[in-house]
A and B are shown apart, each in its own frame.
Chain A
Amino acid sequence: MKKKKCIAMLLAGGQGSRLGSLTSSIAKPAVSFGGKYRIIDFSLSNCVNSGIDTVGILVQYKPLILNKYVGTGESWDMAVADGGVHILPPYAGETGGEWYEGTADAIYHNIDFIDLYSPEHVLILSGDHIYKTDYNKMLEVHEANKADLTVSVIEVPIEEASRFGIMTADDEGNIVKFTEKPKEPDSNLASMGIYIFSWPSLRKALLEDHEDHDSEHDFGKNIIPKMLEEKKKLIVYRFEGYWRDVGTVDSYYESQMDLMDDVESINVFTKDARVFSNSNIYPPQYIGPEANIGKALISNGCTVYGDVDHSILGSGVVIGEGSVIKDSIILPNAIIGRNCTINKAIVNEGVVVDDRTEIGDADGKIVVYGTSKLSV
């Protein structure tokens, strides 16, 4: 196997329970996003756009659609001879099998995989972040500082800092303190859950953590505090730009709307640093004779007879005559009947909405409608 400078490990096994019915039958990274994308597209595209061609994807919760979607990685130019994408589920050994118990435990169980490529550095990513970046910039900082660990951080308003894992750094960027959800934060640098470890340091930390039976085997709770304690070289990398964790229905909704409302910050239309996806082959969309389209993002394969205003339609969606879709996101292959009114809602994948249905909350809360019927 060719030696790699840096490979990525993408944590994609969590359930994402705060997304409710959106993840009832699908892992969070595979949830539809922005019409034709799935959440994982952003991280995978960042990798390929940064020249990282070897990615381990750690799966556990309902991985069927995710596995099918990632496939050989060809859609992200990752069907390469040395490297490529590897789906890494929990597995059994001579002494039985175990589920991944935590983020660090998932990586621990794949030490052999990482050793195959004997990389100098390992980039740890979450499969549920929306952002565009070049990881090389972070890697440069990591290497220049000869760090054991570099943590990507973003400035948050100090009054919101108590919702995040907060890094306190000195003037040179060395991390001096890490506090999970501090009551009285002394820094506004929030950890984004994106780490670059030097592989020997991470390897050692994982082996030790595995022996520690009090550990929850979590990067934030266990690995980082222990490395700090051991006076390892931990530094921050200050990320600038658009970054969203789509862990809640509100953030999932808002960051999708940003694709059309805030193109300056998160641009999926530009040809540089493209966001790639594994798109099924749909015919182009058809807009009917009576349709009225306001501001909208509409994907391939849609058939629109009704009105769409400030909304996103996923691939293969049908909007029946007389229906009015406003401030909403219709996930792929949902069929909206005639004379429906949908206001500030998310309609799950493949849901059939009967004629004259009204969806929307009087208080303006985002409604998630229907149970996904996924097709592969």
Chain B
Amino acid sequence: MKTIGLISANYQGKGFGELTEERTLASVPYGGRYRLIDFALSNMANSGITTIGIVAPYTSGSLIDHIGIGNPWSLGRKNGGLFLMPGSVYGVQAEGRRFLIRDVLKNIKFFERDDADYVIISSSTDVYNMDYKPLIKQHSESDRAMTVVYKKVPRGEDYEGFFIDISEDGRVEKFNTSAEGWGNYFIDCCIVNREFMLEFLKWFGALEYMDFFDVVKDHLDVFNVGAFEFRGYFGRVRSTSDLLKVNQDMTDYVIRNEVFCNPERTIYTKTQDEAPVFYLPGSDVRNSTISAGCTIEGKVENSTIFRSVTIEEGAVVRNSVIMMHCHIGKDVVLDNVICDKYVTINDGVKIFGSEDKPVVIGKEMTI
């Protein structure tokens, strides 16, 4: 039962402002030392998948820089390994759609050349730690063409994406928008028979401008699609306010242990090998995630501080995300702020955002 992986990174999100101006959503920094794509990659690597293709957009400089030849995920291999595949230009405008048929079609050799039974297809921008082995088992024991992964979610407002209706015998009957139905949220991840995928591309190649799941949704009477429930933590990242929230989720004891401290399923990332964090007298840090290489003299609360950040004395950083190499000057106050990499906040500057609308400071800005 050989399974290979395909990760789609050829899409953008709306409302990320300057964070996604020069980088794909998949390479947005998260959680102090990670990029969003680390989760999709690590989930696959930890489930024994050693051949992984990533469909990358043309703005993939930061993504390629981060992933390299895939060594942190043990993908620098002779047999299989990492395949970075160019996506179509169309992808970067496609908000909400994540699996363009033309992206798959363009890289059809990835499917043709391998002899795997199954392909796990995943988006690249949500935060969760999942073992795919039970999914592979359930799917292989069924006679279905594909099995989609869902998470039961409480009712909320305006949820982008699909909710699924499942019949008593476990077959997916309908894909709903949040207006049509609620409950079983499709988390943009599925396992599909490789042979079926190749057939599908033959049948629907002419609809290459469409999304794979838009086609699947309209053919549920023909395609036998199963469902698999994921019961773990699922951090959905569709906006800057989501990004702030999933960063703060990391300070939750249960979530931190499940997602980040599971020795069986490490979330891998590119290592930078920074020095330990240097706390100086006067620092006051509460309920926060701090990464290596930082020097902290100020006050930090409910925040995520990335690598090599300096927070000077008298500064207060609250409910914020400060990405790598930022410099926060003396007596600065930041509340609900997201600073991209290499931002300098000069002494005494005070910036206040809100939980729903954090202030985003673009890369390399000085304020």
Decide: B292 and A295 in contact? CB cutoff 8 A: no
Interface residue ranges, B against A (CB under 8 Å)? 31-33, 72, 250-251, 256, 260-261, 266-269, 271, 273, 275-281, 283-293, 295, 300, 304-305
CB-contacts of A75-109 with B (<8 A): 75
Let me know if B268 and A293 touch, CB within 8 A: no
Question: Are B277's CB and A298's CB within 8 A?
Answer: yes
Interface of A: prevailing SS: loop
Q: Is the CB of A287 within 8 A of B278?
A: no
Q: Are B271 and A281 in contact (CB under 8 A)?
A: yes
CB atoms of A36 and B287 under 8 A apart:
no
Do B285 and A287 touch (CB < 8 A)? Answer: yes
Q: Is A225 an interface residue (CB 8 A)?
A: no
User: Pick the contact of A281 from B72, B256, B290, B295 — CB < 8 Å?
Assistant: B72
List chain B residues, Cβ under 8 A from A36: 275-276, 292
Please, which residues of chain B bring their CB within 8 A of the CB of A296? 277-279
- Once A281-B72, A293-B283, A294-B281 are accepted as A-B contacts, the answer to whether A287 and B276 lie under 8 Å apart by CB is no
Q: Which of A277, A285, A308 contacts B273 (CB 8 A)?
A: A277
Chain B residues within an 8 Å CB radius of A260: 278
Residue in A35, A268, A283, A293 whose beta carbon sits within 8 Å of that of B285 in the complex? A293
**B286 with A291: CB separation less than 8 A:** yes
Cβ-based interface call for A286 (8 A): yes
Within the complex, which residue of B251, B267, B269, B283 is in contact with A286, where a contact is CB–CB below 8 Å?
A: B251
Is A312's beta carbon under 8 Å from chain B?
Answer: yes
Contact-size category for A: 35 or more
Contact assessment for A298 and B279 in the assembled complex, using a CB-CB cutoff below 8 Å: yes
Judge whether A337 is part of the interface by a CB distance below 8 angstroms: no
> Within the assembled complex, what's the spacing in Å between the Cα atoms of A274 and B275?
9
Contact status of A289 and B287, CB under 8 A, knowing A277-B273, A281-B269, A298-B277: yes
- Most chain B CB within a 10 A radius of its CB, from A291, A292, A296: A296
Q: Which residue of B lies closest to A294 (CB)?
A: B281
Q: Do the beta carbons of B292 and A300 come within 8 Å of each other? A: yes
In contact, B275 and A284 (Cβ under 8 angstroms): no
Query: Of residues 21 to 77 in A, which have CB atoms within 8 Å of B's CB atoms?
Result: 34-36, 75
Q: A290-B286, A298-B290, A312-B276 are in contact. List 15 more A-B contacts (CB 8 A).
A: A281-B268, A283-B261, A285-B277, A286-B256, A286-B288, A287-B288, A289-B287, A293-B279, A293-B285, A294-B279, A297-B275, A299-B292, A300-B33, A303-B256, A313-B276
Rounded to whole Å, the gap between the CB of A33 and the closest CB of chain B is 11
A276 and B279 contacting across the interface, CB-CB below 8 Å: no
| Chain B residues within an 8 Å CB radius of A295 | 279-281
A75 to B272, CA, bound (A): 10
A75 with B273: CB separation less than 8 A: yes
Q: Give the contacting residue for B290; candidates A276, A287, A297, A312; CB below 8 A.
A: A287
A284 partner, pick from B33, B268, B281, B284, beta carbons under 8 A: B33
Smallest CB gap from A274: residue in B: B273
Known: A268-B275, A298-B277. A284 touches B287 (CB 8 A): no
Please give the distance in Å from B19's CB to the nearest CB on chain A. 19
Contact (Cβ within 8 A) A283 B279? no
**Structural contact, A276 and B273, CB atoms closer than 8 A:** yes
Determine whether A247 belongs to the interface, using a CB cutoff of 8 Å to chain B: no
**A-B pairs with beta carbons under 8 Å apart, 21 shown:** A279-B271, A279-B273, A281-B72, A281-B266, A281-B268, A284-B31, A285-B277, A286-B289, A288-B286, A288-B287, A289-B287, A293-B284, A296-B277, A297-B278, A298-B276, A298-B277, A299-B276, A300-B33, A300-B291, A300-B292, A308-B279
From 243 to 273 in chain A, residues with beta carbon under 8 angstroms from any chain B beta carbon are 260, 268-269
Chain B residues whose CB sits within 8 angstroms of the CB of A75 once the complex forms: 273
